[in-house]
Amino acid sequence: MKYKIMSVLPLLGIAVSLTTPGNAIAQPVLPDTPQIAQNSLIGQCRAVNRRVSVYPDRSEVNPIVAINANTEVILQGEVRNGWIVVTVPSINQVGFVRAQYLKSCATTDNIADNNGVCRRIIYGGADGMVIRANPSINARQVGTLNFDERLTIDPSATFRDSLNRQWVQLLSPMDGWMSNGLPGSSNIGACP
């Protein structure tokens, strides 16, 4: 009698097959090439769980900047030796932090508050995206958002001006309207 038992080790992403002929003891049969999980961390949102320093490399020497607890960061690589490279959108800084000091962001990346839709700024201009009180380039400026910052939009509130520029209404991080560009272009993208 031959039994074949399949087991999956999800943490390692390795499938193991145990084959037992007759009354013999089960022996693991590993695949030739282990199947490593391909869930990339790149682009995911995290927040720091305490005040931490951001470093230019994987060492605690010469910090670039210190960021406060709950500051959101965007992961730019995978964890190696306990370190991960991140972008700090609020100050437009890239560097390394200890992975142990990261936690989930306050809101789920793909779900937004107030029945809105999570988006992020993909426009990379140095001055950022201007947020206006009304959907017009002549309306009063109420703030700016920079590359990779997250925002929540009302998907039912859009407007096209006389140049066919699309405007979207923001629910957070501030109230206002933002140009999403002319046809064929976009200033915002989906949250990763």
The DSSP letter of residue 101 is G
Within a domain: 110: no
174, 147: one domain? yes
Structural domain range at position 24: 1-38
Q: What is the mean pLDDT of residues 81-98?
A: 89
Q: What is the pTM of this model?
A: 0.42
Place of tokens 């109420």: 142
Question: What does the pLDDT read at residue 176?
Answer: 92
19, 74: one domain? no
The DSSP letter of residue 61 is S
**More confident position, 17 or 187:** 187
182, 130: one domain? yes
Please count the structural domains in the chain: 3
Residue 192 pLDDT > 60, yes or no? yes
Sort residue 26 into left (φ over 0), alpha (ψ -120 to 50) or beta. beta
Q: What is the mean pLDDT of residues 64-84?
A: 87
> 63 in helix, strand or coil?
coil
pLDDT bracket for residue 127 (50, 70, 90): confident
